[in-house]
Amino acid sequence: NAGVTQTPKFQVLKTGQSMTLQCAQDMNHEYMSWYRQDPGMGLRLIHYSVGAGITDQGEVPNGYNVSRSTTEDFPLRLLSAAPSQTSVYFCASTADRGFGYTFGSGTRLTVV
Amino acid sequence: SQQGEEDPQALSIQEGENATMNCSYKTSINNLQWYRQNSGRGLVHLILIRSNEREKHSGRLRVTLDTSKKSSSLLITASRAADTASYFCAEQMEYGNKLVFGAGTILRVKS
């Protein structure tokens, strides 16, 4: 099915570990974004990209890295996990800024 | 924070009633979008209204936009139990490429 695929769906990390959250879309969308969702705070933008090779910071970029080597993939790297990064992470994509975004089903991350 | 605000935070109504959710935003926008999130799921795009539009309809949804007050409202008419979800507004900034979300309204429709 066409859409945004996020893996893994669940992950438990120990403090200080690193990992990569995967995001792939098969709709040839140029725009891709990563959000984290915490209770009572809605979605906060971590990083976003407007095309392959182009990335920029959102509202809460510290502790996260991204790259966009292809149109399809936009991985999010946690460099050294901290308990404050416990959250649900969503990846989203759109063809252009004048259109709605398609969201993945999320990755629930717990850092202990 | 660049996040806008939504009002009310939570809303409980009976099936068949109308539900109105309000959103205030902070920047000049290219468009404003509304999304629905069912518990534990990803967000689903509902409707987009551009900065030069004042009202838009999609099925039982009606969205208004007042750029002078930097506010928008989402009306769901003849609500159903299946409309129970969280609803978020999101502002696409006029300059730049960020889509910034509000904190959301939790809607419960009782059958």
pLDDT tens digit sequence for A59-98: 999 999 999 999 999 999 999 999 999 999 999 999 998 8
Are A104 and B100 within 8 A, CB to CB? no
- Structure-token pair, residue B87: 């609803």
At A84, is the secondary structure helix, strand, or coil?
helix
- A5 part of contact set with chain B, CB < 8 Å: no
Are A100 and B101 within 8 A, CB to CB? no
For range A3-13, the mean pLDDT: 97
Residue A34: partners with Cβ closer than 8 Å, 6 or more residues away: A21, A23, A45, A46, A47, A48, A58, A64, A66, A74, A76, A89, A90, A91
- A34 part of contact set with chain B, CB < 8 Å: no
Q: Report how far residue B78's alpha carbon sits from residue A25's, in angstroms, rounded to the nearest whole number.
A: 35
Q: What confidence score (pLDDT) does residue B40 get? A: 80
In A, which residues are within 8 Å of B100 by CB distance?
45, 59
Q: How many CB pairs under 8 A join A and B?
A: 68
Which of A31, A40, A100 is closest, CB to CB, to B48?
A: A100
Are B33 and A98 within 8 A, CB to CB? no
Low-confidence stretches of chain B (pLDDT beneath 50): none
pLDDT tens digit sequence for A27-47: 999 999 999 999 877 899 999
Q: Quickly tell me which residue has 């660049």 as its tokens.
A: B2
In B, which residues are within 8 Å of A101 by CB distance?
33, 43, 45, 99
